[in-house]
Structure 1
Amino acid sequence: MGKHLIRRVIVPVAAVAAIVAACALGGRAVTDMTREQGAASLRAAVLDAAMQCCAIEGSYPSSLAYLEEHYGLVVNRDDYAVTYESYAANVPPSVRVVPR
């Protein structure tokens, strides 16, 4: 009866546990990839807004807040940390976006 118990109970339980573990790891990888893509999209949006500002006003904005206030940029600060560094009015800003 010992071998019969192993085949009927333990093997299916172990298989289900392995499937659940694989799904959990796969879900985590998808979540991480989505967050990275979101960060890249936000960085592109910030740079696009800065370029639009420069095209309209003749200089790059000195702050991220200016883009939010005057160009409708929306930054999800709960999910992303954004660093915006402006060196000069005629030099594109340095933008870094990191998922939290």
Structure 2
Amino acid sequence: MDTLTVPLLAVVSTRVASENVYPAFSGVGGKSTLVPIVGALLRFVLIVAVLMLIISAIAWAIASSTGNAQIAQRGNVGVFFALGAAALAGEGIA
């Protein structure tokens, strides 16, 4: 970064932090219908992520105990992806 960019970023970040900017949900038509639909979809994603976590963990354990490195690696990746999806969906619900 050059010498102009750093002070400019500091000023912009300070200005944005000092403003109280929040989304205006009152401008969305059909909010009373949209909120339960989004909540149900996020709950569905959370359930699928937890099921994916269980299945991937079982596959990882079985593959590791039988010495199948390729399936164990896929189970490992599946577990971490499921944890990330569950965390994001759980945060979206809260």
TM range (shorter): 0.3 to 0.5
Mark the structure with the bigger radius of gyration.
1
Q: Which has the higher contact order (CA 8 A, sep 6+)?
A: 2
Compute the TM-score of the two structures, normalised by the length of structure 1: 0.44
The answer to which structure has the higher strand fraction is 1
